[in-house]
Amino acid sequence: MEVSSICAMPLYDRGVLKSTRPAVPTIAVGNLSLGGTGKTPHVELVLRSLQDIAPLATLSRGYGRSGTEFREVLSDNTDLQRGDEPLQIKWKFPLVRVFVGADRVMAVALIEAQVPGIKVVVLDDALQHRPLNAGLNILLTTWHKPFFEDALLPAGTLRDVRSRSKTAQVVIVTKCPIAPDASERQRWKDSLGLKQDQVLHFSGIHYDPPGWFLPTEGPVPMGQLTSALLFTGIADPDPLAIHARSLWGRVEHLSFPDHHPFSPSDLGRLAGVFSSFAADPKLLVTTEKDAMRLRSVIAGSPLEGLPIAVIGMRAVVLNEPERFASLLRDHVDPHSAHR
């Protein structure tokens, strides 16, 4: 988050500065911490829940791109032009209009003007963008490091005060290893300090079968006789690394920082490690988000022509998924019949 936004937070909290509520329905998915809660998979979860409603749009800042101006994301853009996560959403949801822009209030107004009949704008990481007051706020916090066990920077990883959680109509505990029972759900609600009207959900991770980075005949090899060199540039790669070790006999993991732009030296290092870390059969494995950044730099690099597989992931609601979907649909169109 920009320093200017952090400095302005108390002014919004005291009502000195005012937030804008757009006319179009808006759903903000965010967190209080620096990252790793699964914002983009939960934006995708919202889009899947509303998939028969159109037109839909998403808006994010487009972290890692060059510039902060308002732009639409097209499938042939690069991550440097629009950001890896918006590009990933466009690839997975080609019918959704995907936009990036640092000024969310202005961007939503431009989306309303450019997309006639727009039904909803889903905002990725907008809880700390105080100038915009979204109609429905979804706050994410992880099972293993909930915000009530964390502290503000620099002592912890929180970038906003815990009381900001009161503005969320929905709180989702993410990356849950199990579906909690009723008593466990109540314990979480008490620990989170939720109000009576705040809805609590729990979500888990579902991994898709690995697929090839480039169109290739035949399935991706798996099993104990195959080795995999996993490379990631995401905030919390540990769950994926555990999953990868369930698919292949030997897994080595090279971890880069979140949103890391792969340089020629990075690609050379990966190719060098891959050549010697194990005997055949072997392959490279990465995430959907990393694949977006890899597409613009792989041509002519040492990785070109090597077997690279991609593992996609989805967030799934573990308790009352129908209620979660209905809540979203009621916000978008309270007069529509649920189908």
- Where are the domains positioned within the chain? 3-205+315-332, 211-311
What is the arithmetic mean of pLDDT over 207-223? 92
Read off the pLDDT of residues 72-112 as tens digits, 9 standing for 90 and up. 998 888 666 677 889 999 999 999 999 999 899 999 999 99
Alpha-carbon Rg of the chain, whole angstroms?
21
Cβ count within 10 A of residue 90: 23
Q: Do domains 3-205+315-332 and 211-311 have the same CATH topology?
A: yes
So what's the pLDDT on residue 336?
A: 53
Read off the pLDDT of residues 176-200 as tens digits, 9 standing for 90 and up. 999 999 999 999 999 999 999 999 9
* Cβ partners under 8 Å of residue 94, min gap 6: 75
CB 48 within 8 A of CB 41: no
| Mean residue pLDDT across the chain | 90
- 3 state SS of 50: coil
Cβ count within 10 A of residue 163: 10
pLDDT classification of 14: cutoffs 50, 70, 90: low
Q: Tell me: domain 211-311, CATH 1.10.10, correct?
A: no
Read off the pLDDT of residues 116-168 as tens digits, 9 standing for 90 and up. 999 999 999 878 777 889 999 999 999 999 999 999 999 999 988 899 999 99
Read off the pLDDT of residues 265-297 as tens digits, 9 standing for 90 and up. 999 999 999 999 999 999 999 999 999 999 989
Q: Which residues of 144-157 are buried (b: 16+ CB within 10 A; e: fewer)?
A: ebbbeebeeeeeeb
Q: Which CATH number fits domain 3-205+315-332: 3.40.50.720, 3.40.50.1820, 3.20.20.100, 3.40.50.300?
A: 3.40.50.300
- Residue 285 tokens, joined: 């494995």
